[in-house]
Amino acid sequence: MTTSEAPARIAVTGLAVMGSNLARNLARHGYRVAVHNRSSARTKALIEEHGHEGDFVPAETLEELVASLQTPRQIIIMVKAGAPTDAVIDELVPLLEPGDMVIDGGNAHYADTRRREAALREAGLHFVGAGISGGEEGALNGPSIMPGGSKESYQHLGPVLESIAAQVDGVPCCVHVGPDGAGHFVKMVHNGIEYADMQLIAEAYDLLNRVGGMTPTQIAEVFRGWNSGDLESYLVEITAEVLGHFDPETGVPLVDVIADEAEQKGTGRWTVQEALELGVPVTGIAEAVFARSLSGRVEQRKAAREAFGSPEVLASERIADQLVEDVRQALYASKVVAYAQGFDQMRAASAEYGWDLDLGAMATIWRGGCIIRARFLDRIREAYDKDPNLASLLVDEYFRDAVRDAEAAWRRVVVGAVEAGVPVPGFVSALAYYDALRSERLPASLVQGLRDFFGAHTYRRTDREGSFHTLWSGDRSQVDA
Ligand SMILES: NC(=O)C1=CN([C@@H]2O[C@H](COP(=O)(O)OP(=O)(O)OC[C@H]3O[C@@H](n4cnc5c(N)ncnc54)[C@H](OP(=O)(O)O)[C@@H]3O)[C@@H](O)[C@H]2O)C=CC1
Ligand SMILES: O=C(CO)[C@H](O)[C@H](O)COP(=O)(O)O
């Protein structure tokens, strides 16, 4: 920390793991950073432990924090999403002047961000909802940053945020996503894809373990190998780390002693709720959210085990080699589906809210820093560069070929899992989505017939325009509706 009286360039309030690491990242990039936390112990700890890393200005109160800043002020809020964020904004706003910028880097719901942006705009302030991904390590060494808000605010903030973001091939993993809540919407979908990706990885592990008879250590090696091919990604890389780790207390693989109840903070659920509102089928994300919920239904699981017994899976090491390759292909194809669904949701939201999202740019800023960073995001960027109005990622030439090539293995994995009694909701739903999208006819025609029967909800025909109703309880003739 320096003792100079120069005003700070930027401020961070909320110094838990994310905020303190983001402040350190800013300081390491040469910015004079004002820092504040509701309880000052965290501020003191940051200065004591990391003050030597750069130019920090500790503040006991928000008044002090605001007073320490150059104008227009830029204040990053990194506190719990929801009411705590509102509490900080309410305290901060009366202290600010027109033109100042408040940046919410937490995992806010995009609708809250839209509300806050509108309210602060009324007061002449800029409110920037910025999704930040990468966990504590990313916050410190370079996260992926997804800022929304006005273009004007990005002109001020962009250079700072881009400088502290992860860089891939010299390109920062930060771009102005779009107005008002666009940044937090994109971060929410990022997290939804994160859920789907992790569920698929978990299913792959389960199959190799229970059907292939492989140990966590052996599966760790498989994931390590996969990480040098198409599947190369942060999540595949850390899967190898987690599976290869032994519990120091018991000496068994750690994964075998971790309780099998997956928790969630809510961003995956939000993604599905918003997809339902937009009418976008994000089946992979939904299955992932529900799989976590099911894992937590401990009493129901116990009752079902007692009623039916656990599936007796006969593991066979003989089939392991074929299984490993099949599961790799099923994982890749299902992953492509999950990303296709997430990008579809962003496209729908962009149209709904007039955000004009550049989907290729979203793939670009997810290539580094964030949890879903993966080699194939380059392919996604290329696909949208070629055709920004792509109907679905699945029909891009590269992904079309990749999914087609994987199809036979994907089906073998799903059939084998179903026969063995190993639940693979992610793989199954991805395959069903693929089959449904490409079907010439869907049984939705029967659904429409049934709706018309019981509720006179009408139907359209394949051979002419208009809406029709059949007089089901009369002479069953058809009338124009
Ligand atoms: N952890 C992660 O990997 C990631 C987190 N995020 C998001 O970043 C934000 C910060 O996350 P994280 O660092 O994990 O911290 P937490 O989400 O655990 O939040 C703790 C911080 O919030 C502050 N806080 C809580 N309630 C209030 C309040 N009413 N008024 C003022 N401050 C309050 C705490 O202050 P005090 O110390 O006084 O209690 C503390 O600084 C969250 O929105 C989170 O969702 C985003 C990406 C990844
Ligand atoms: O935002 C993140 C990464 O991008 C967090 O890690 C995410 O919130 C974790 O979510 P959950 O606890 O629901 O699994």
* Three-state SS sequence of the chain: CCCCCCCECEEEECCCHHHHHHHHHHHHCCCEEEEECCCHHHHHHHHHHHHHHCEEEECCCHHHHHHCECCCCEEEECCCCCHHHHHHHHHHHHHCCCCCEEEECCCCCHHHHHHHHHHHHHCCCEEEEEEEECHHHHHHHCCEEEECCCHHHHHHHHHHHHHHCCEECCEECECCCCCCCHHHHHHHHHHHHHHHHHHHHHHHHHHHHHCCCCCHHHHHHHHHHHCCCCCCEHHHHHHHHHHCCECCCCCCEHHHCCCCCCCCCCHHHHHHHHHHHHCCCCHHHHHHHHHHHHHCCHHHHHHHHHHHCCCCCCCCHHHHHHHHHHHHHHHHHHHHHHHHHHHHHHHHHHHHHCCCCCHHHHHHHCCCCCCCCECCHHHHHHHHHHCCCCCCHHHCHHHHHHHHHHHHHHHHHHHHHHHHCCCCHHHHHHHHHHHHHHCCCCCHHHHHHHHHHHHCCCECCCCCCCCEEECCCCCCCEEEC
Crossing angle of helices 182-210 and 425-438, rounded to 10°: 110
Distance 78 CA to ligand 1 centre (A): 6
Of 347, 331, 353, the closest CA to residue 414 belongs to 331
Give the number of other Cβ atoms within 10 Å of residue 228's Cβ.
10
Residues 6 or more apart whose Cβ sits within 8 Å of residue 1: 47, 51, 52, 55, 56, 57, 58
Residue that has been written with the tokens 């003792």 in this structure: 3
Distance 419 CA to ligand 2 centre (A): 33
Nearest residue CA, atom 28 of ligand 1?
84
Strands 144-147 and 167-168: unpaired
Ligand 1 site, residue 82, Cβ cutoff 6 A: no
Residue ranges for the binding site for NADP(+)?
Answer: 14-19, 37-39, 79-81, 107
Ligand 1 site, residue 473, Cβ cutoff 6 A: no
Answer whether 121's CB lies under 8 Å from 127's CB: yes
Answer whether 76's CB lies under 8 Å from 11's CB: yes
Answer whether 236's CB lies under 8 Å from 224's CB: no
Distance 191 CA to ligand 2 centre (A): 6
Distance 212 CA to ligand 1 centre (A): 42
2 pLDDT higher than 70? no
14 pLDDT higher than 90? yes
Distance 52 CA to ligand 1 centre (A): 24
**Percent of the chain topping pLDDT 90:** 97
The one-letter code for the residue type at 239 is T
Q: Give pLDDT, residue 4.
A: 54
Of 467, 478, 459, 436, the closest CA to residue 341 belongs to 436
Ligand 1 site, residue 134, Cβ cutoff 6 A: no
R_g of the chain computed on alpha carbons: 25
Average pLDDT over residues 75-96: 98
Q: Which numbered ligand comes closest to the C-alpha of 40? A: 1
Task: Give the range among 177-181, 195-199, 210-214, 310-314 with minimum mean pLDDT.
Answer: 310-314
469 token code pair: 């109703």
Average pLDDT over residues 178-191: 98
Closest atom of ligand 2 relative to the 371 alpha carbon? 4
Report how far residue 238's alpha carbon sits from residue 243's, in angstroms, rounded to the nearest whole number: 8
Q: Give whole-number Cα distances, 435 to 207, 407, 462, in Å.
A: 22, 10, 21
Binned at pLDDT 50, 70 and 90, residue 3 comes out as: very low
Residue ranges for the binding site for substrate?
Answer: 107, 133-135, 190-191, 195, 265, 292, 451, 457
Q: Give pLDDT, residue 188.
A: 98
- The most distant pair of C-alpha atoms in the chain lies apart, rounded to whole Å, by 91
Q: Is 152 exposed, middle or buried (0-12, 13-18, 19+ CB in 10 A)?
A: exposed
Average pLDDT over residues 118-125: 97
Residue ranges for the binding site?
Answer: 14-19, 37-39, 79-81, 107, 133-135, 190-191, 195, 265, 292, 451, 457
Binned at pLDDT 50, 70 and 90, residue 319 comes out as: low
Q: Give pLDDT, residue 41.
A: 98
pLDDT mean across residues, the chain: 96
5 pLDDT higher than 80? no
280 token code pair: 């976008």
Nearest residue CA, atom 2 of ligand 1?
135
Q: What is the pLDDT of residues 131-153, one digit of tens each?
A: 999 999 999 999 999 999 999 99
Closest atom of ligand 1 relative to the 16 alpha carbon? 13
Nearest residue CA, atom 3 of ligand 2?
133
Q: Could you give the residue numbers annotated as active site? A: 187, 194
Ligand 1 site, residue 139, Cβ cutoff 6 A: no
Ligand 1 site, residue 87, Cβ cutoff 6 A: yes
**Percent of the chain topping pLDDT 70:** 98
Pocket test for ligand 2, best of 110, 144, 190, 191 (most atoms within 8 A of CB): 191
Q: ω into residue 72 within 30 of 0, thus cis? A: yes
